[in-house]
Amino acid sequence: MRALLLTDVGPQFDAAFSVPEVNPGEALLRVRCAGICATDLQLWDGYKGGFRGILGHEFVADVAAAPGNETWIGRRVVGEINVGCGHCDLCRRGGGKHCRRRSSVGIINHHGAFSDYVTLPVVNLHLVPDNVDDESAVFVEPLAAALQLLEQIQLRPTDRVYVLGDGRLGLLVAQVLAQTVAEVTALGRNDNKLAILSERNISTRRVDQAEVLDVLLAQPADVVVEVTGSPDGFVTGLNLVRPGGILAQKTTLAAKIPEFDLNRIVVDEITLIGSRCGPFEPALRLLSAGKVAVKPLINARYPLEEGVAALHHARRKGVLKVLIDVNK
Given this model, what pLDDT does residue 127 score? 98
- Decide if 89 is inside a domain: yes
Q: Are residues 199 and 239 in the same domain?
A: yes
Q: How confident is the model at residue 133 (pLDDT cuts 50, 70, 90)?
A: very high
Mean pLDDT (whole number) for 75-96? 93
- Decide if 147 is inside a domain: yes
Rounded to 5 degrees, what angle do the CA atoms 228, 232, 234 make?
Answer: 75
Mean pLDDT (whole number) for 248-253? 89
Q: Are residues 96 and 173 in the same domain?
A: no
Q: Are residues 152 and 88 in the same domain?
A: no
Given this model, what pLDDT does residue 70 score? 95
Given this model, what pLDDT does residue 252 score? 82
Question: Does the pLDDT of residue 258 top 80, yes or no?
Answer: no
Range of the domain at 111: 3-139+294-325
Q: Are residues 269 and 161 in the same domain?
A: yes
Q: Are residues 24 and 128 in the same domain?
A: yes
Q: Are residues 159 and 127 in the same domain?
A: no
- Decide if 218 is inside a domain: yes
Mean pLDDT (whole number) for 246-269? 86
Q: Do 160 and 222 form a contact (C-beta atoms < 8 A)?
A: yes
Mean pLDDT (whole number) for 178-202? 94
Q: Are residues 116 and 162 in the same domain?
A: no
Question: Does the pLDDT of residue 255 top 80, yes or no?
Answer: no
Mean pLDDT (whole number) for 165-189? 94
Q: Percent of the chain beyond pLDDT 90?
A: 84
- Which CATH number characterizes residue 160's domain? 3.40.50.720
Give the span between the Cα atoms of 302 and 310, in whole angstroms.
Answer: 6
Q: Are residues 214 and 265 in the same domain?
A: yes
Q: Are residues 80 and 8 in the same domain?
A: yes
- Decide if 284 is inside a domain: no
Q: Are residues 307 and 236 in the same domain?
A: no
- Decide if 288 is inside a domain: no
SS (H, E, C) the chain: CCEEEEECCEEEEECCCCCCCCCCCEEEEEEEEEECCHHHHHHHCCHHHCCCEECCCEEEEEEEECCCCHHHCCCEEEECCEECCCCCHHHHCCCHHHCCCCEECCCECCCCCCECEEEEEHHHEEECCCCCCHHHHCCHHHHHHHHHHHHHCCCCCCCEEEEECCCHHHHHHHHHHCCCCCEEEEEECCHHHHHHHHCCCCEEEECCCHHHHHHHHHCCEEEEEECCCCCCHHHHHHHHEEEEEEEEECCCCCCCCCCCCCHHHHHCCCEEEECCCCCHHHHHHHHHHCCCCCHHHEEEEEEHHHHHHHHHHHCCCCCCEEEEECCC
- Decide if 283 is inside a domain: no
Q: How confident is the model at residue 254 (pLDDT cuts 50, 70, 90)?
A: confident
- Decide if 256 is inside a domain: yes
pLDDT tens for each residue of 94-130: 888 999 999 999 999 999 999 999 999 999 999 999 9
Q: How confident is the model at residue 295 (pLDDT cuts 50, 70, 90)?
A: very high
pTM: 0.94
Q: Are residues 34 and 77 in the same domain?
A: yes
- Which CATH number characterizes residue 103's domain? 3.90.180.10
Question: Does the pLDDT of residue 257 top 80, yes or no?
Answer: no
Given this model, what pLDDT does residue 94 score? 87
Question: Does the pLDDT of residue 231 top 90, yes or no?
Answer: no
Closest CA to 227 of 149, 322, 326: 149
Q: Could you tell me which residues are beta bridge partners of residue 322?
A: 300
Given this model, what pLDDT does residue 212 score? 86
Burial of 190 (0-12, 13-18, 19+ CB in 10 A): middle
Q: How confident is the model at residue 79 (pLDDT cuts 50, 70, 90)?
A: very high
Number of domains into which the chain is organized:
2
Closest CA to 216 of 194, 188, 195, 192: 188
Q: Percent of the chain beyond pLDDT 70?
A: 100
Given this model, what pLDDT does residue 209 score? 79
Q: Are residues 85 and 188 in the same domain?
A: no
- Decide if 289 is inside a domain: no
